[in-house]
Structure 1
Amino acid sequence: MSNISLTPLFRRSIGFDRLNDLFDYAMQSETPNYPPYNIEKAGDNQYRIVVATAGFKEEELAIHLENQVLTITGKPAEQEADSTVELLHKGIARRSFKLSLRLDEHIEVQHANYENGLLSVELQRIIPEEKMPRQIPIGRKLSPAAIETDAA
C-alpha cells in the first residue's frame, strides 16, 4: 500500500493536524460491508444514517455516542433451532455487528427510529453562534471588552 502525503495541503491551512491521522486511519482500516448502510444528506445541515438490520428486533440494537464516534451495534438474541425445519439456504445474516462512524464536532444526534428492518439515525449540524461567520473590523484596535459590547 502506498502512503499519501498531505504536507502540501497543510501549507495553506492551520489547525488541521488531526486530518492526516484521520486519513491514515481510513487507509488502514477495512470498510465494513455488513450490515449495509446509507449516509444521506437531507438538507444543508441535516444528515441521516440508515442501516439495514433485517431480522433484528429493536431491543437487539444499540446506539452509543462517545468522543464524536457514533457506534451502532447489533447482537441477536439466542434462538432455539426448530428441529422440524431443514435450512436449504441461509441468506439472511443475523450475526453480530459493530458499525462506527466519526462525526464532525458540530454534528449532533437528534433521534433514532426503527421501522421495517431499517434503523434510521437523524443527525444535524448545529454551529454555535461564536463559530458563525463574522466581519472583522480593519483599522480600529478593539479591546476584548469593546468587542463584547459591540456584539450586544
Structure 2
Amino acid sequence: MRNSFDWTPYRRSTVGFDRLFDFLESSGSAENYPPFDIEKVADDHFRITIAVAGFKEDEIDITAQQNMLAITGRKAPAREGEERKLLYSGIATRAFERRFQLADFVRVDRADLADGLLTIDLVREVPEAMKPHKIAIGDSKPTLVENGSKQAA
C-alpha cells in the first residue's frame, strides 16, 4: 500500500528532514507483523508495546545500538516428543524483526513481557551541556534556562 500524501510543499520549507519524509513515504510498504503501539508516557518517557503472543522471553532478543533498537523473535524448534497436532493454526508464531530509529540521547530503560505483550520503556536524557543556556548581555556567566525559570550556571 502506497502513501498518497504529497510531501513536496513541506520538503521545500524544511531543511534536514529529508530522511523523515522518505521514511513517511515508504512506511506503507513495511510488513505489519507483529503489531505495535508507541506511546508518550511523559515528556521524556516513551513506551513501545509489541504484540508477541506465543513467544517466550528466551525467544525474543532486544538489541539497542547507537540510534537503533532492534527486536527479533524466533520460535524455538519443537523438542522430541512434543509434537502438536493442530486442527487450525491462527496464532502467528513466525520469526520477526522490528527496527525502531531512536532519537539522540534516547536509551532503553527496561523491557517486560506479560500477557503476550512486550513493553519497552525508553527515556530521553539530554546531557546538561546540550541543554539550552541563555547568555545575558554583559554577564560573564551563562544562565541555565530550565522550565522557564532562571538558575545560575
Q: Normalised by the shorter chain, which TM-score bucket? A: 0.7 to 0.9
Aligned length: 137
The offset of 1:134, in angstroms, is: 2.1
Which 4+ stretches in 1 moved above 2 angstroms? Answer: 1-5, 28-32, 80-83
Mapped to 2, the partners of 1:97 and 1:26 lie a distance apart of 22
The offset of 1:94, in angstroms, is: 0.4
The offset of 1:147, in angstroms, is: 4.8
Q: Which structure is richer in relative contact order (CA contacts within 8 A, separation 6 or more)? A: 1
TM normalised by structure 2 equals 0.77
What is residue 12 of structure 2 aligned with on the other side? 7
Unaligned runs of 5+ in 2: 143-151
Across the aligned residues of Structure 1 and Structure 2, the Cα RMSD in angstroms comes to 2.4
Unaligned runs of 5+ in 1: 11-16
The offset of 1:62, in angstroms, is: 0.4
In the alignment, structure 1 residue 64 sits paired with structure 2 residue 63? yes
What is residue 25 of structure 1 aligned with on the other side? 23
In the alignment, structure 1 residue 78 sits paired with structure 2 residue 77? yes
Corresponding letter in the other structure for 1:97: F
Mapped to 1, the partners of 2:31 and 2:125 lie a distance apart of 28
Corresponding letter in the other structure for 1:28: S
More helix as a share of residues: 1
Secondary structure of residue in 2 paired with 1:9 = coil
Secondary structure of residue in 1 paired with 2:32 = coil
TM normalised by structure 1 equals 0.77
Corresponding letter in the other structure for 2:83: D
Corresponding letter in the other structure for 1:23: F
The offset of 1:78, in angstroms, is: 1.2
In the alignment, structure 1 residue 89 sits paired with structure 2 residue 85? no
| Overall identity of the aligned pairs, in % | 37
